[in-house]
Amino acid sequence: MTYSSMTYSNVTFPNIAFQTPRLTAAALSSSALPHAKSTLSTELATLLTSNVKRHLPPDIQAVSDAESALRWLEQTLEDCQFVAVRLADDDALVGFFLLYVEVNAQRGGQPRLASPHYSLRLGYVVAETFQGQGLASEMVEGLVTWCQTSGVVSSLSGGAEADNLPSIKVLEKNGFVRERNDEFHQGNTVFLTLML
């Protein structure tokens, strides 16, 4: 398979795009950035309600309007791939993934040169109006399927606050397993990984 790609923190990774029965997902590509960022920032300001932001990291808490959403999006795009997830039938923004890319090294710390394999750390958000409809599970399932068929992703990992049981259940439903030896444990965060 051939994919267009973007570079994050000196790592080039294919742009993700997939479809599920109810959703379409596509990475925000560099060619679409100028126009898409403006429209997307308005959608993000609407999507990121206080209830949605409750379990999200501090950097996204400052998003309150289109201008602050644009600043957050521009900063975020420097470090990760932003994948917008929309309803297939009417293009409404359901949510998004943030995918942080890491290159896996072989034993001895040497990078794989022939066929790079990546580990992805993911975060995902679902708009309040779309919660409780199984769309988060469908989003994650679509991402897992894309990663499995891409041949370039070896693992996915994510975290959720311990009291965010719906998010933990979505990841577990899609095969993620709680980390047993959590050396990076932070407060009440539960970390889960899926080896592909």
- Predicted pLDDT of residue 109: 46
Structure tokens at 32: 């679409």
- Predicted pLDDT of residue 82: 93
- Predicted pLDDT of residue 88: 97
Coil, strand or helix: which one is 91? Answer: coil
Angstrom distances, CA of residue 46 to CA of 92, 152, 164, 196 = 12, 34, 22, 34
Residue type, 102: E
Annotate 133-152 with DSSP letters as a single string.
Answer: TTHHHHHHHHHHHHHHHHS-
Positive/negative CA dihedral, 183, 189, 23, 63: negative
Domain that holds residue 184: 5-195
- Predicted pLDDT of residue 29: 67
- Predicted pLDDT of residue 36: 79
- Predicted pLDDT of residue 95: 98
User: How many domains is the chain built from?
Assistant: 1
As a 3-state breakdown, the chain gives helix, strand, coil percent values, each rounded to 5, of 35, 30, 35
CATH of residue 108's domain is: 3.40.630.30
- Predicted pLDDT of residue 115: 55
Query: Per DSSP, what are the bridge partners of residue 23?
Result: 87
- Predicted pLDDT of residue 110: 47
pLDDT in tens, the chain (196 residues): 333 445 555 557 788 999 999 999 999 866 666 777 788 999 999 999 999 999 898 999 999 999 999 999 888 888 889 999 999 999 999 999 999 988 764 444 444 444 568 899 999 999 999 999 999 999 999 999 999 999 899 999 999 998 999 999 999 999 999 987 555 556 688 999 999 9
Positive/negative CA dihedral, 176, 181, 185, 190: positive
